[in-house]
């Protein structure tokens, strides 16, 4: 599959179907050079000395237009040549197509292409008056040729009349399709684990011919998970959620390949892409959207991906497969640290005056190092602080703050906290850990222990601790 070269200059052929200006039956009109005329034929020039071009309306003399509702006759008042001079990019392949028909019998016309003043005959067409002949071909712009003349020269007309001969319609000259992909990611980073990224990809056909069988694919980036129900056509044919699709644009998530697939353009189906016209016809192109959730494994890393479009150039004799890639979108993800707290007491039932020993362990299960780790464990009324042992941090009994500091991923540390039981009753207290980094799982960063403190001489039912 070929990758299109740099965007060539589009060949802006004007009024190829001769639809302007509108005529009734048939009419002789000045060519585009006659700017003083209130009505003239846009785009086209003629070599006829009177600068007159003849346009017919469909149905005139029993002839229907090949495309649209109007067409031209080369022989207006003279055997002449119709032409346009168009900016071109050297090395670019130009595709052409046209319809030709005789007026009173067999007429012959030539197609000449080249630099103004030195065109070269490409082909001759001879057709009778009963049906339109349809022709296609290609022309490669030579080196240094930035202006190319595209002309139709009357060779002969049935009966030799200079006033009647060589009908012309449906003239097309342009470059191959060129799909340009632009991708955005919002919101801009850095983001947190668990945040949602919205990707939008716009496909514009900056070439000439339509991009056929247009299929856009985008692999869900590593470290992210596709958000079901987020596929949407934002702009272009059949905008709206996938569930609202009526047939023009189709999209689905390919779970096996972990990728998004959009079939885009006119007449797209669930099984194949459609046709995307160039930006002269559809300036905004078509824009699609999907969303992903940032996985825990992406903490402290970046998420990046590139969208790809495959399509076909069908202007030539056989379809040519082409492909385009978008710009890369990179999203930075902030570090994340999952802190797990486990708290236990050496005894859950004590009497007043005894010592209660707690062991509080904090484990960082990652994925990144945790910084400025703090565990809050305020002793409740009924427990009097005695001592605290911790080789990696400090405990302040006044605030209940255990300052751990930094804790590497997969590392753990334990605080041994001793307190004297001073008041009878069921006493619960909780240890809660926090860090600078986002905790992707907050249900495990707290733990609570309940201790029953009984009077020195029990006079009632035993106190049963619960954890």
Question: Sorting pLDDT into bands at 50, 70 and 90, what band is 238?
Answer: low
Mean pLDDT (the chain, rounded): 91
Average pLDDT of the segment spanning 21-29: 96
- pLDDT tens, residue by residue, 291-306: 999 999 999 999 999 9
Say how far apart CA 56 and CA 51 lie, in whole Å. 17
Helix, strand, coil shares of the chain, percent, nearest 5, are 5, 50, 45
220 three-class SS: coil
- pLDDT tens, residue by residue, 39-78: 999 999 999 999 999 999 999 999 999 999 999 999 888 8
Question: Which two structure tokens, joined as six digits, stand for 92?
Answer: 């670019």
147, with CB counted inside 10 A (0-12, 13-18, 19+), is exposed
Say how far apart CA 191 and CA 172 lie, in whole Å. 50
pLDDT > 70 fraction of the chain, expressed in percent and rounded: 93
CB atoms inside a 10 Å sphere around CB 358: 21
Question: Which residues lie across from 240 on neighbouring strands?
Answer: 233
Q: So what's the pLDDT on residue 239?
A: 58
Q: Which of 276, 357, 341, 352 is nearest to 314 (CA)?
A: 276
Question: Which residues lie across from 68 on neighbouring strands?
Answer: none
Q: So what's the pLDDT on residue 451?
A: 94
pLDDT > 90 fraction of the chain, expressed in percent and rounded: 82
- pLDDT tens, residue by residue, 241-264: 443 444 455 899 999 999 999 999
- pLDDT tens, residue by residue, 382-431: 999 999 998 888 999 999 999 999 999 999 999 999 999 999 999 999 99
Q: Which of 72, 73, 59 is nearest to 17 (CA)?
A: 72
The residue written with tokens 């785009």 in the block is: 43
Question: Which two structure tokens, joined as six digits, stand for 347?
Answer: 């005894």
Question: Which residues lie across from 241 on neighbouring strands?
Answer: 232
> 399 — alpha (psi -120 to 50), left (phi > 0) or beta?
alpha
Q: So what's the pLDDT on residue 160?
A: 81
Question: Which residues lie across from 252 on neighbouring strands?
Answer: 261
Question: Sorting pLDDT into bands at 50, 70 and 90, what band is 161?
Answer: confident
Average pLDDT of the segment spanning 363-368: 96
Q: So what's the pLDDT on residue 247?
A: 44
Contacts of 282 (CB under 8 A, 6+ apart): 205, 236, 276
pLDDT beyond 70 at 464: no
245, with CB counted inside 10 A (0-12, 13-18, 19+), is middle
Q: Angle at Cα 21 formed by Cα 15 and Cα 26, nearest 5°?
A: 110
Average pLDDT of the segment spanning 148-153: 97
- pLDDT tens, residue by residue, 192-229: 999 999 999 999 999 888 999 999 999 999 999 999 99
pTM score of the predicted model: 0.78
């Amino acid at each position: 599959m070929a990758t299109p070269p740099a965007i060539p200059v589009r060949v802006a052929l004007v009024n190829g179907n001769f639809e302007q200006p509108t005529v009734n039956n048939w009419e002789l009109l000045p060519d585009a050079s006659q700017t003083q005329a209130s009505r003239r034929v846009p785009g086209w020039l003629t070599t006829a000395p009177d600068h007159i071009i003849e346009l017919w309306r469909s149905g005139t003399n029993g002839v229907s237009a090949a495309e649209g509702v109007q067409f031209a006759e080369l022989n207006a008042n003279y055997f002449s040549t119709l032409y346009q001079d168009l900016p071109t990019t050297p090395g670019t392949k130009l595709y052409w197509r046209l319809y030709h028909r005789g007026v009173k019998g067999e007429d012959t016309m030539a197609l000449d292409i080249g630099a103004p003043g030195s065109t070269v005959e490409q082909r001759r067409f001879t057709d009778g008056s009963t049906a339109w002949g349809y022709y296609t071909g290609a022309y490669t712009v030579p080196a240094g040729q930035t202006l190319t003349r595209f002309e139709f020269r009357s060779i002969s007309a049935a009966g030799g009349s200079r006033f009647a001969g060589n009908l012309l319609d449906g003239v097309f000259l342009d470059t191959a399709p060129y799909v340009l992909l632009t991708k955005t990611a919002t919101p801009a980073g850095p983001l947190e684990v668990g945040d949602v990224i919205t990707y939008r990809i716009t496909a514009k056909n900056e070439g000439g011919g339509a991009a056929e069988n247009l299929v856009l694919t985008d692999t869900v980036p590593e470290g992210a998970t596709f958000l079901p129900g987020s596929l949407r056509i934002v702009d272009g044919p059949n905008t709206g959620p996938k569930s609202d699709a009526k047939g023009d644009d189709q999209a689905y998530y390919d779970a096996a390949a972990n990728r998004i697939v959009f079939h885009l353009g006119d007449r797209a189906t669930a099984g194949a892409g459609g046709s995307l016209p160039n930006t002269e016809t559809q300036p905004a192109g078509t824009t699609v959207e999907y969303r992903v959730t940032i996985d825990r494994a992406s903490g402290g890393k970046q998420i990046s991906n590139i969208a790809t479009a495959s399509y076909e150039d069908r202007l030539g004799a056989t379809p040519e497969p082409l492909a385009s890639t978008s710009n890369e979108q990179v999203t930075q993800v902030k570090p994340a640290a999952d802190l797990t707290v486990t708290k236990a007491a050496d005894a859950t039932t004590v009497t007043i005056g005894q010592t209660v020993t707690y062991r509080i362990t904090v484990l960082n299960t990652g994925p990144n190092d945790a910084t400025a780790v703090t565990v809050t464990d305020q002793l409740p009324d009924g427990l009097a602080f005695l001592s605290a042992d911790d080789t990696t941090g400090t405990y302040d009994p006044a605030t209940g703050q255990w300052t751990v500091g930094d804790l590497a991923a997969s590392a753990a540390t334990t605080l041994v906290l001793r307190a004297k039981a001073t008041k009878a009753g069921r006493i619960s207290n909780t240890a809660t850990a926090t860090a600078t980094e986002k905790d992707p799982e907050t249900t495990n960063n707290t733990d609570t222990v309940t201790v029953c403190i009984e009077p020195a001489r029990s006079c009632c039912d035993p106190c049963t601790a619960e954890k």
